[in-house]
Amino acid sequence: MPSVVKRWRPSVLFLLGGLHWVCGPVGYAADSVTNACRQNPANCALLHGQEAGAAPTVRSGAEIASIAATLRFLSPELKLRIERTLHECAAWADAEINRRRLGGNEPSRQQCQEVLPTLDPCGQKVTRAMQWGSEKHGLATQCVQEQLDPLIPGRFSLEPRYRYDRQTGQVQWLSPAEVRALLQQDCGKELKGTVVPDVVIHSGNPLQAVSIYDFKFPCPPGNDASWKKYTEGHVNKDLTQGKVYVEALKAEAALVTPRRGIEQRIHP
């Protein structure tokens, strides 16, 4: 295990190997802003006077852009350290799931394309690539939670969910509690059209992003990583995740892969 994650231990959820999505990846309840506030009242200032757990106010794209210009708290050295952590967590999670599922071997194209005999909770087919990718995302995200908490407490969110109106430029952050409740209603129908980056580095308010990252675990591993393109039925149809993230939050977005680390940066 890489040194950056040597203290991390997987939870029972992932030791059991269960899928961690409910009709798509579930947003993690452990938003670092709320957690940091609960652990140290001094950090509650990061919530800009709001109660812990309360959603930040909705902001327009223009407001976010002007605020983001003042949020360059990341020195080049700190940014490099954060990105090295993300890469090492991705590489470790990839190797760990391969060890559990494949005896340490890398998956073949045929294995990746295999369809599981059971459907997901919303009746959709699930491939091995989807299953393993979900498990790897889960381990990588929990690793990142532990590693970034002491480094930038209160200044990152894992799988935050946003509503973004491209016509008005308005963006709304949905609290983890709200997301959990909506996911249990009609397979998350009310969340259709929302966007969910894997990791957002921010000022202390998830609406004030500094940088955005998505984990990708190509299956088979020789495949090139790419931004997912939103399909029919999504309000951002034919646009890629990265483009929408940057457009909505006015911050740089990049992919994180086990082999190559940070790649395919998109700038505002």
pLDDT per residue as tens digits for the range 159-183: 999 999 988 999 999 998 888 888 8
Q: Both ends of the chain: CA-CA distance in Å?
A: 35
> In angstroms, rounded to a whole number, what is the distance separating the alpha carbons of residues 212 and 51?
25
Query: Residue 188 — pLDDT band, cuts 50, 70, 90?
Result: confident
Burial class (CB in 10 A: 0-12, 13-18, 19+), 142: buried
User: What confidence score (pLDDT) does residue 50 get?
Assistant: 36
SS3 189: helix
Is the full-model pTM beyond 0.75?
Answer: yes
Residue 103 has pLDDT above 80, yes or no: yes
- Domain edges within the chain: 34-266
Dihedral angle over CA of 146, 140, 247, 268, nearest 10: 80
pLDDT per residue as tens digits for the range 197-251: 999 999 999 999 999 999 999 999 999 999 998 887 778 888 999 999 999 999 9
Q: Given CA atoms 264, 165, 191, 200 in this order, what sign does their dihedral have?
A: positive
Query: Residue 19 — pLDDT band, cuts 50, 70, 90?
Result: very low
